[in-house]
Homo-oligomer: A and B are copies of this chain.
Amino acid sequence: MKMTPMIETFVMHFGEMGSRWGFNRTVGQMYALLVITKDPISANQIAEALSISRGNVSMGLKELQSWQLIQMHHKPGDRKEYFQTNGSIWDMANRVFEERRKREMDPTLSLLRDILLDTPANAEEQHAQEKLKEVHDLLEGITKWSSELQRLSPEKLDTLMKLGSGVGKVLDMKDKLLKRSNE
């Protein structure tokens, strides 16, 4: 597995970005390689293409599987395992959002819920709790909203995206419609 310069550029960049996206450099490289490679490839091919150790590849594949970003394959008459990305680019984005929400918001949300059950001991804690309530409501709002979005069909999502700032107009229309139906 030799990468062409174009492919190498992309793979290495994805590696650099990896850490910002929630996984480490080699996991980012591995995923990039799998995204642009048409046919499933083996762990050894990955190790060779990226010049990293076989052990590291094994751990990376485990990580990518835990994100549900890749799939394992078996070729008939071959004992090796072959890997491939799982689903469309949209599915990938959904999984990444979902996973990050789990890691970045859920633990905080749960802690905030606990703290908000306590009775504030003094004026200082009273003020603190009010702020925490705001943070809590924000996180809860984002969480609910994002799970609603994931429930929408891809077509509706696409419409919504294309609507852009037009969303404002649609909201106005909604108010008018409701009013009309109440009359």
CA distance A170 to B145 in the complex (A): 15
B142 adjacent to A165 (CB under 8 Å): no
A122 proximity list for chain B (CB < 8 A) = 4
Contact flags (1/0) for A25-63 with B, using CB distance below 8 Å?
000000000011110000000000000000000000000
A104 adjacent to B20 (CB under 8 Å): yes
CA distance A151 to B168 in the complex (A): 10
Residues of chain A touching chain B, judged by Cβ–Cβ distance below 8 Å, are 4, 6-7, 9-10, 13-14, 17, 20-22, 35-38, 88-90, 93, 103-104, 107-108, 111-112, 115, 118, 120-122, 124-125, 127-129, 131-132, 134-135, 138, 141-142, 144-145, 148-149, 151-153, 156, 159-161, 163-165, 167-168, 170-171, 173-174, 177
User: Nearest 10 pairs between A and B by C-beta?
Assistant: A36-B128, A148-B164, A89-B134, A148-B165, A38-B127, A20-B104, A170-B174, A36-B131, A145-B161, A141-B161
Supply 11 A–B pairs (Cβ within 8 Å), ascending by A: A4-B125, A10-B111, A20-B103, A35-B135, A93-B142, A145-B160, A149-B167, A152-B168, A160-B171, A170-B171, A177-B177
For the complex with contacts A6-B121, A145-B161, A149-B167, 17 further pairs of A-B residues with Cβ separation under 8 Å are A7-B124, A9-B115, A10-B128, A13-B107, A13-B111, A20-B103, A36-B127, A36-B128, A89-B131, A89-B138, A90-B138, A144-B161, A148-B167, A153-B168, A160-B171, A173-B173, A173-B177
